[in-house]
Chain A
């Protein structure tokens, strides 16, 4: 399918893949792929070309998120592929991987194909399904992994559920080596978390809530590192949250074991102090931890132990959250706040801008062997344009996700997503109010 060729001119282009950071023009050809990066490319263009002036703005590869929940099929009242795609592009993401805990579970090629088809109908972003490791996420038998990979799955995971059976985990990691795909793991020993609903600390004691100790994550990370070493499989630790887990992943990487990990914006931003008012928007799994854990996660981002930031976008509507803390669903939406929360790390001086961009583009793409997250010529024309002089105030009701469960209500985040381009088409553009999506965005002309 051809698109109108487009030139973005005058912007500061940042590409972690090549290390380029400078004022440059960028051409996207009629095949929707990146054609060229360079100065004064306007001379090569004519009236057929669409010209987008991005002077004073930053041009990045479209952001990549390898951990989201789109809820379709089965939980369409929380989110759909369509609304999740809208949320993604409003947050600058053009590639997102979605977890298998739908209903039915994405544990066969047929379900994978359904999700891929729905994503194509929406046409807003690249949706990459993640297949279940075990049938029905039951943790008992392997799912048909090859079948799902053939239909477009990019990884396997039982996320949302820990894999308590070490033998099954061993076999899953072994089997994954046939295909060379990562196994993303929700590291939680459910015996140790024993009905806990927040981090175990003086805060949980004050609140009278049962706690989940760091050890619930640490012992599983330790176990799976041992299994990764034994099997040669690629272990990807999902949403890392403890200082101990970061340390063990670092040590395992140093020993050459194939282990990678991601951290969510909330786990490098908030501590369990945020739970003091029983705000159910601070309830998630893994739970928000203590200060030293947050510091360890940031340190892991700085030294490369943690190669990417992933949102764990987990939409839940009010009826699942406006209940007692212990009964509330786990998780928060994240696609539309991830970029701004990452920029807070840059503002605080923890990481530089290039690293921030890498963690949301080339980092996850290289880790999972995806073709996007780069501005290399010939790759998909997926871009994210940032207005560095604006800010984003988080207004839950204005989020594009079907659910508005965010603990960041009212936060003012640095910079703002100005435009998102997917395959050479503008799929999101800021209009001064809430932004425009899809055809509405493609037609929009700023005055």
Chain B
């Protein structure tokens, strides 16, 4: 296999972080650079032979302390395509169920010297705590509570850039439960960093306090939020994440009436070339009418496809791929 060293690794080493914890920490330059590297991995994913030796000899632990199917599979495929050895630990099988604390689990894993831990944790700040406790291991946040899901944000940005060609003067409307959504937060931080306009839309019961301070427009009326928007990103109503007794909306039927996207609303209020996104899994008939989710507007499967490329880029970059390539003098 030919060595795969994306980018002109030389003078410009644009990503120097040990960890990827959240898009709120990243500059526009860093974000665009990750997207550029991901574009190259995207091409690799279209080849007949999709495996490169870039991460040969590196070990990646997938520590998923909260259920996940697509994110974990996406990370696993990404790591394996780069020839890393992968190890998977999930919530049910981990010692967390025996009462071990997150930090003890982390210290024990670190003692085995993995190169990267990809972590999903149901508490906000989980990934950051690991990164601080483990100075010699790269941490990639695969979702921490309602705080961030940076690789989802990045794959959404890559999908938007491919669909629209850029971010400036473009408007992305995020619709649904913002309060409990790490996807919304990572998208807001990322999209604001690269200069897009961001609107959020949902019932006031699902818009968290002080959201305007993140530089977004807040709407409660779907028509106003849809008019002129280039992208409509519907979020999943996460019944499992919404605490009982939250009184956020009366029924999913009423939620769908007010904030669900269907063909009629698209025809009346949407741009003709509007792009529909959804991080999945979709509650068909609640956030999106099936015809909308599967229709010509939808780039939902592109998001999934781009996810693998983005995660390959992130694995490569946090391990200092560029720094290593620069040291070896490859140009």
Taking Cβ atoms with an 8 Å cutoff, the residues of A that contact B are 194-195, 200-211, 213, 277-278, 322-327
Contacts and interface: CB of A to CB of B under 8 A. Distances in A.
Nearest to B211: A205
B245 interface: yes
Given A278-B129, A324-B102, 19 more contacts: A200-B208, A201-B209, A202-B213, A203-B210, A205-B209, A205-B214, A208-B145, A208-B146, A208-B182, A209-B124, A209-B145, A210-B243, A211-B209, A213-B209, A278-B128, A322-B101, A323-B102, A324-B129, A325-B124
Task: Say which size band chain B's interface belongs to.
Answer: 20 to 34
Interface string B186-222: 0000000000000000000000111101100000000
B80 interface: no
A322 B245 CA distance: 29
Contacts of B213: 202, 205
Question: Which among B144, B208, B211 has the greatest number of chain A C-beta atoms within 10 A?
Answer: B208
Interface string B290-306: 00000000000000000
B318 interface: no
Interface in B101-158: 101-103, 121, 123-126, 128-129, 144-148
A278 B208 contact: no
Contacts of B144: 208
A216 to B, nearest CB: 13
B146 A322 contact: no
A204 B211 CA distance: 10
Question: Which among B24, B121, B147, B182 has the greatest number of chain A C-beta atoms within 10 A?
Answer: B147
B123 A325 contact: yes
Question: Which among B123, B145, B243 has the greatest number of chain A C-beta atoms within 10 A?
Answer: B123
B185 interface: yes
Contacts of B179: 210
B246 interface: yes
A324 B126 CA distance: 7
A128 to B, nearest CB: 37
25 contacts: A194-B243, A201-B209, A201-B210, A202-B213, A202-B214, A204-B210, A205-B210, A205-B211, A205-B213, A205-B214, A206-B24, A206-B185, A207-B147, A208-B145, A208-B146, A208-B182, A208-B185, A209-B124, A209-B125, A211-B209, A323-B101, A323-B102, A325-B123, A326-B124, A326-B145
A382 to B, nearest CB: 42
A278 B179 CA distance: 18
B145 A202 contact: no
7 interchain residue pairs of minimum CB distance: A202-B210, A208-B147, A278-B125, A324-B123, A208-B146, A208-B124, A202-B213
A31 B246 CA distance: 60
Contacts of A277: 128
Contacts of B126: 324
Contacts of A325: 123-125
Contacts of A209: 124-125, 145-147
B124 A278 contact: yes
B141 to A, nearest CB: 11
A202 B211 CA distance: 6
Contacts of B210: 201-205
Nearest to B144: A208
B124 A207 contact: yes
A347 to B, nearest CB: 31
A327 B246 contact: no
A293 to B, nearest CB: 14
